[in-house]
Amino acid sequence: MVRTILVFIFLGMVFSLKANAQVIEEPRDGFYERLMIQEKRPAELPYVREADVLWAKRVWQVIDLREKMNQPLYFPINPTDGRRNLMQVLLDGIREGSITAYDVATEDFTVPLSVDALMSQLERTETITAQRPDPPYEEYDTTITISFEPADVMRYRIKEEWFFDSKRSVLDVRILGICPVREAIDPVTGESRGDEPLFWVYYPEARNVLVQAEVFNRHNDAQRISFDDLFIRRFFSSYIYKESNVHDRRITEYYTGLDALLEAERVKEEIRNFEHDLWEW
């Protein structure tokens, strides 16, 4: 009887030691497993009826990644610490079929692009002068193909609609699309030819991908946000380059320089003041 009790005590001690023993794990960058972002789903936005939209204004804005506030959209250039920049996230989503790319010829998301067509469109060609390896070592011009680099994207255009919801009595906004923009380079002279929009992405579709992509949080490494959080909460700086108008013109087509900047601010101020002017104090 005593021997049986001792055997049970010994087995209990062995199992206890095994349970308390340190488990050897695969190396990982952190002391706990981060699952919050990977398990996130897009927050459901309030349903809006057409009859409840008392006022609406469609605008197009530019997000310049050279501004300090917008740097989380540009960095890291290479994937680091489980983070990717916005352009890389969009490309990965397009390649795996979770996001559809649309032609920039129209802004109404009606002309989808295949992955092969998009990638060939993103490639650049450049004409360079080379020298033949054999005598008389003549020089000749040749065209080379340069692969697309996500770091080339320095701006984003966003298409959004501001509206007043009379049912909730709030001024709200919905982002409709995102368009990466890079600098257009002349293949012969190498000079800049202005902005080159690459493709449009329908934002409501892209939310399922953006909500699971981490963005750097300057204030707390333990509370990373997603790209979807960044856009929904308006954690970015932008300026308006177009508003809905009868001529479908951009601001730069009828104003230049400082006047164009002032016009963009006027449109933004008009949106801000609309809700304020509805109430009496």
Q: What is the pLDDT of residues 240-258, one digit of tens each?
A: 999 999 999 999 999 999 9
Q: Is the pLDDT of residue 107 over 60?
A: yes
Q: Which two tokens stand for residue 245?
A: 């108008």
* Residue 113 belongs to a domain: yes
What's the pLDDT at 129? Answer: 75
What's the pLDDT at 17? Answer: 47
Domain extent at residue 214: 52-122+149-278
| CA–CA dist 87, 176 (Å, integer) | 17
Q: Is the pLDDT of residue 195 over 90?
A: yes
On average, the pLDDT of the chain sits at 87
* Residue 16 belongs to a domain: no
What's the pLDDT at 87? Answer: 97
pLDDT band of 188, cuts 50, 70, 90: confident
What's the pLDDT at 21? Answer: 45
Q: Is the pLDDT of residue 190 over 90?
A: no
List C-alpha distances in Å: 172 to 46, 56, 200, 274: 10, 9, 23, 11
Looking at per-residue pLDDT, the higher value among 210 and 191 belongs to 210
Q: Which two tokens stand for residue 210?
A: 């953006």
* Residue 41 belongs to a domain: no
Nearest CA to 65 among 242, 236, 265? 236
Q: Which two tokens stand for residue 47?
A: 């349903």
| CA–CA dist 6, 37 (Å, integer) | 50
* Residue 168 belongs to a domain: yes
* Residue 31 belongs to a domain: no
* Residue 138 belongs to a domain: no
pLDDT band of 266, cuts 50, 70, 90: very high
* Residue 134 belongs to a domain: no
Domain count, the chain: 1
The least confident of 57-61, 134-138, 148-152, 209-213 is 134-138
SS3 letters across the chain: CHHHHHHHHHHHHHHHHHHHCCCCCCCCCCCCCCCCCCCCCCCCCCCCCHHHEEEEEEEEEEEECCCHHHHHHHCCCCCECCECCHHHHHHHHHHCCCCCEECCCCCCCCCEECHHHHHHHHCEEEEEEEECCCCCCCEEEEEEEECCCHHHEEEEEEEEEEEEECCCCEEEEEEEEEEEEEEEECCCCCCEEEEEECCEEEHHHHHHHHCCCEECCCCCCCCCEEHHHHHHCCCCCCEEEEECCCCCCCHHHCCCHHHHHHHHHHHHHHHHHHHHHHCCC
* Residue 1 belongs to a domain: no
* One-letter amino acid for residue 132 of the chain: R
> What's the predicted TM-score (pTM) here?
0.84
What's the pLDDT at 103? Answer: 96
